[in-house]
Structure 1
């Protein structure tokens, strides 16, 4: 039985989107941008690869920005 090519493409796209959602903290980046913190998605990805908790860093940066320190 042959698997249709479209089904393989759809499953591949779903897997890629799920992996991107796991490895790229888009929600964290969006909340940082809305709060006025200047941080790129690349910086967040590299934080995650270096085992630095991006949530802690970004939330601290948001607090500092809202407090007027940065």
Structure 2
């Protein structure tokens, strides 16, 4: 399986399961927030939103 095939498969999965992807990003953000003692909550929240937006755009791209 080549890189293009993997990329297409990732796009399909993100497009089909965007809600699960968002949940995973939020869980990762919560984990990072806990590990930093809440000191960087604002930055982590912004990063979560940017990542979710980027993944949605990636999953919605036409092939």
TM-score (norm 2): 0.32
TM-score (norm 1): 0.30
Q: Which structure has the greater CA radius of gyration?
A: 1
Q: Which has the higher contact order (CA 8 A, sep 6+)?
A: 2
